[in-house]
Amino acid sequence: MKTFFFFSILILIELLLILVFLVLELVFFYIVFEFLLIPFYFIIALNNIKQYSRNTNQVNKKINAFFLLFFYTIIGSLLMLFGILIIYINFGSTLIPIL
């Protein structure tokens, strides 16, 4: 069951990556890019925690790494959203071919 879950997440990541490169508007790019991060969180959070269940220090390091990734991703995402807003204010459009 674990391998099925892992490979289904990898297929979802691949489909979302294809969609990221097909989108022609910055707002939809931002939305799809944020949805792409959700499967990565599942892979990082659920990967090999049972291996280290006896060693709580290793589990705490993995959970800490997960929260740090989440924190830095939120900061980067807000900066990207702010940049998209600045582009929309300056140019009046978020369509990539127009820009």
Q: Is the pLDDT of residue 90 over 90?
A: yes
User: Quick one: average pLDDT of 95-99?
Assistant: 90
93 or 57, which is more confident: 93
Residue (of 37, 33, 26) closest to 85 by Cα position: 26
Residue 39 inside a domain? The answer is: yes
Structural domains of the chain, count: 1
Whole domain around residue 53: which residue ranges?
2-91
- pLDDT, tens digit, for every residue of 61-76? 777 877 888 889 999 9
Q: How far is CA 40 from CA 19, 25, 56, 96, in A?
A: 16, 23, 23, 26
Angle between helices 56-91 and 26-46 (to 10 degrees): 180
- pLDDT, tens digit, for every residue of 4-52? 888 899 999 999 999 999 999 999 999 999 998 888 888 877 766 665 5
Q: What is the pLDDT of residue 50?
A: 60
Q: What is the pLDDT of residue 13?
A: 93
Residue 98 inside a domain? The answer is: no
Residue 47 inside a domain? The answer is: yes
Q: How far is CA 24 from CA 9, 28, 64, 77, in A?
A: 25, 8, 36, 19
